[in-house]
Structure 1
Amino acid sequence: MNKPLKRHEALQPLSRDHHQGLLLGWRIRQGIKKKVDQNRIFEYFRYFWKEHLEPHFQLEEAYIFNLLDPRDEMRIKAEDQHRELREIEMLLEKKGVERDLLDLFADKLEAHIRYEERELFQYMQKVLGQNELATLNEKMEKVHSEKSECWNDPFWVK
């Protein structure tokens, strides 16, 4: 059994966001599995993207990724994953509800979150100095806010 990863306090708010992102993927899959009207799933996806996921991506890009060299392979991979998720989101907006795209988004989002949690954040904790992490923690306390879920159609439980 894998032991839990120790996360620096500067990155903990993002890890909590990641948990919510994993729930989004799970909820999409549950909706598909339970044959819920895809419009209901899509509306939740749109809400979550706008209120939670895109702001989270912007925060990571503004405060986290730029702590690494622009040529760093791990940074490039995370940025590429953000770009790919945005492309799928744009396809969903353009094409409307498509089960396969929703499922693909859930898969890609989960893979991205697992990458950040298991590889990128661990790497950053090793390569960044304590001063950089402390400064990041101060910034995160100012710019990150915990967002509560505000959705009245829990299709994933029905």
Structure 2
Amino acid sequence: MAAKYPALEPLSAEHRQVLQLCENIRIGLRNNIPKKRIRTYTNWFKTNFLDPHFELEEQHIFPLLGNNVRVKKALANHRRIHKLLSCDCDNERVLNLLEEELATYIRFEERVLYKELAQNLHADDLEILKKYHANISFSEEAWKDKFWLS
């Protein structure tokens, strides 16, 4: 999508990071990494990446699309993902659900929601998005326990 809508590339790059999180969860589960280690990683990712990303979407991106069915679906997905991330457990079922929900949601945003966004954005909107997006800085390099590499 980024090649088709270059103004949305930073957001698409963030989505690739979320898809990498999903892959890391899958690898951890497949390799029988202790669930607590995976959950500690997802908690860190939530705080350092997903929370700011969701906040940007909810406060500055979704309003550009108005109150439509796709925005309502996105907000419902945010709530489900937050619920899974807030679960104070480390069991495999919750981690599987989290990974599936995130991957499905990111694909929905890229294929449907951001496509609509790109078609409805004005030049002023793009400048505003760039400004707010610049406030999100994230580096997975800060996370030391790379269990998915073992």
TM-score of the superposed pair, with normalisation by structure 1: 0.87
Q: Does 1:101 align with 2:97?
A: no
Which amino acid counterpart does residue 119 of structure 1 have in structure 2?
Answer: V
Q: For the residues of structure 1 that align with 2:31 and 2:125, how far apart are their CA atoms?
A: 42
- RMSD of equivalent CA atoms: 1.6
Structure 1 stretches of at least 4 aligned residues deviating more than 4 Å after TM superposition: none
Q: Secondary structure at the match of 2:32?
A: coil
Q: Which runs of 5+ in 1 are unaligned?
A: none
Paired residues of 2:42 and 2:85 also in contact (CA < 8 A) = no
Q: Does 1:76 align with 2:64?
A: no
Name whichever of 145-154 and 14-23 sits farther off. Answer: 145-154
Q: Does 1:112 align with 2:110?
A: no
Which amino acid counterpart does residue 105 of structure 1 have in structure 2?
Answer: L
What percent of counterpart residues are identical?
A: 34
Q: For the residues of structure 1 that align with 2:2 and 2:48, how far apart are their CA atoms?
A: 28
Which amino acid counterpart does residue 17 of structure 1 have in structure 2?
Answer: E
Q: For the residues of structure 1 that align with 2:96 and 2:144, how far apart are their CA atoms?
A: 22
Paired residues of 2:2 and 2:12 also in contact (CA < 8 A) = no
Q: For the residues of structure 1 that align with 2:45 and 2:90, how far apart are their CA atoms?
A: 15
Q: For the residues of structure 2 that align with 1:111 and 1:83, how far apart are their CA atoms?
A: 14
Q: Which runs of 5+ in 2 are unaligned?
A: none
Q: CA deviation at 1:5?
A: 5.7
Q: For the residues of structure 2 that align with 1:17 and 1:146, how far apart are their CA atoms?
A: 10
Q: Does 1:62 align with 2:67?
A: no
TM-score of the superposed pair, with normalisation by structure 2: 0.91
Which amino acid counterpart does residue 20 of structure 1 have in structure 2?
Answer: Q
